Structure 1
Amino acid sequence: MNVKIITDSSCDLPNDYYKDYDIDMVPLTVHVNDQDYRDVKDIESKTVYDAMKKGAVPKTSQASPENFLQVFSSYVEQSQPVVYVGFSSELSGTFQSAKIAQQQVLEEHPDAEVFVEDTKCASLGQGLVVLKAAQMAENGEAAEDIIKTVQFHASHMEHIFTVDNLEYLQRGGRVSKAAAFFGGLLNIKPLLHVEEGQLVPLEKIRGAKKAKVLKRMFEVMEERGNEINRQTIAISHGDDLETAEKLASIIKEKYQPEKILIGDIGSAIGAHAGPGTIALFFLNDLYK
């Protein structure tokens, strides 16, 4: 049997990708307006963004070990190798839940092939790594080769993003109160990235014009990216498809990537990043 690729809802892949590439997905939980929902399966991100615009403060919970145990066991019982490609352990306890489930499965089935990989990525940065793993699995490649490629792609995945309002990240403890306060006061647009799985400020851009921010995001991609025309580039957005498409057109104007994947930032990440977030993902090196 081919290797089964499993991920979680923080990867933000469009829904049809799960079916098309035979990927299983374990959802995180979103708490909004006193209700709990399974991310992607029970609630759409737009519902969360609309609630946030009306003042709601959604929260999220990691996927539980029990969730992973159920999914892992279903494939192990069919003697199918499993590779879980997960959300950054620096941003969620979801990966640790997967580790606990892995240990439980291996205690009961010592010969089972169950691998869990911490991508240190988020949103479509994680999604691109998952997609590469799924394509390899579809081609019948071995778990060891898939894991090696996952580790390379994860370690070379760039996340360049901006948010409309730093307050959302501050609420979730992702930036300091001071940074959120001064960001709003001085009309500063933050440019952030991911370093060792954590959100890290990259630059401050004065002025709220999106065109200026998109131009700088494109410039950073040119500075850091490698062989952009040979890559699948990804752009995720918080209920702002128009801006995501503008960024895609800027990239297409100079480069012709193999593909530009545009998708929504799902509820699990959107609950912290907020509406208006725009994120760009690409590799700074290609796997030879």
Structure 2
Amino acid sequence: MKIRVVTDSASDLPKQIASEEHLEILPILVYIDGKEYLDGVTIDSDTLYNAMKSGAEVKTAQIPLSHFIDKFREYAQSEAHYLYLAFSSALSGTYQTAVLAYESVKEEYPSFNMTIVDTKCVSLGLGILAIEVARMAEEGSSLEAILSYIEQTKSNMVHVFSVDDLEYLLRGGRVSRSQAIIGNILNIKPILHVQDGALVPFEKAKGKKKLLAKLYEYIKDHGGQLDRQVIGIAHTLNEEEALEVKRHFETVYGSNKFIINQLGCAVGAHCGPGMITIFFKSKVS
């Protein structure tokens, strides 16, 4: 049985890597001043972040039910088993909508088989998992083996984020107005991680130097065999800092496999320019 792997644009994978790994990417919706775009298709992240810096009103929305149904009907024409790795359900309704769409299409096409997984991951945490799963499928692994690997890996995938400007977290409701004003005046940078699929603030640092020191301490405390895994680093108009983090992994841990990309619209729209995000596993299978 052929297994085809699908994920969404919240995975933040470079298009070339997605193409090489035979991964289909479904776009999340992005709105700038009320105009609708498809993430990674009709808008890129540079355009989004420049609009945010200019004060535009930016929103995102899950993939609509109608989009899923149209796409799943297309998949139903194939004899392959489709495996959709969805953006964390704690951050988006995309997973639940995909399940509803599959149930609807399954009634029309009873032989259509699809497994939809709530990965509890986001950005390159999701992207790295999707690459590994796509490779397992290409090598002929069984669906049972793949699903077992996903369950094991998604609980080991570490996500850590820092935000440069609290104004964008204020817009997303993650900090209060007073916290945002005081934090920006004092140059306090929040640090967040993913906990059971949700993005949760857990630490803060004053200034970039102390921020990086805290990120490096977090990596040391939570990483496992960092020289034997792919490290994900995503940023928002902040490539210089991303490369600095890469050098830290190379120097301290001997890491030599990286995916570095600009954070896409799905997460970046809520965190803004100047963000740095790091993804790695606490354990290596």
- Bucket of the pairwise TM-score, normalised by the shorter protein: over 0.9
Identity %: 40
Tell me the residue number matched to 2:169: 169
Tell me the residue number matched to 2:223: 225
Deviations 1:138-187 (A, max 9, x none): 21212222122112211111111101112112212233334323322332
- What is the CA RMSD across the aligned residues, in angstroms? 1.5
Tell me the residue number matched to 1:179: 179
Query: CA contact under 8 A between 1:132 and 1:150: conserved in structure 2?
Result: no
Tell me the residue number matched to 2:35: 35
Work out the CA distance in 2 between the residues paired with 1:201 and 1:98. 28
Give unmatched runs, 5+ long, in structure 2. Answer: none
Tell me the residue number matched to 1:150: 150
Query: CA contact under 8 A between 1:89 and 1:197: conserved in structure 2?
Result: yes
Deviations 1:187-219 (A, max 9, x none): 21111101011111121112x2x2332232122
Query: CA contact under 8 A between 1:102 and 1:115: conserved in structure 2?
Result: no
Structure 1 letter corresponding to 2:180: A
SS in 2 for 1:152: helix
Structure 1 letter corresponding to 2:265: S
Structure 1 residues 178, 195: closer, same or farther in 2, change over 3 A? farther
The one of 258, 263, 276 equivalent to 1:260 is 258
Structure 1 residues 258, 151: closer, same or farther in 2, change over 3 A? farther
Give unmatched runs, 5+ long, in structure 1. Answer: none
- Corresponding residue pairs, total: 285
Structure 1 length as normaliser, TM-score?
A: 0.94
Query: CA contact under 8 A between 1:174 and 1:199: conserved in structure 2?
Result: no
- 1:1-288 aligned within 5 A: 1-206=1-206, 208=207, 210-287=208-285
How far is the alpha carbon of 1:110 from its aligned partner?
A: 3.3
Work out the CA distance in 2 between the residues paired with 1:18 and 1:269. 19
Query: CA contact under 8 A between 1:62 and 1:94: conserved in structure 2?
Result: yes
How far is the alpha carbon of 1:86 from its aligned partner?
A: 0.8
Work out the CA distance in 2 between the residues paired with 1:52 and 1:156. 33
Query: CA contact under 8 A between 1:218 and 1:251: conserved in structure 2?
Result: no
Structure 2 letter corresponding to 1:215: A
Instruction: Answer with 136-145 or 170-179: which moved more.
Output: 170-179
How far is the alpha carbon of 1:43 from its aligned partner?
A: 0.6
Instruction: Answer with 40-49 or 90-99: which moved more.
Output: 90-99
How far is the alpha carbon of 1:258 from its aligned partner?
A: 4.7
Structure 2 letter corresponding to 1:84: Y
Deviations 1:234-274 (A, max 9, x none): 00001111110111001101122251110110112111110
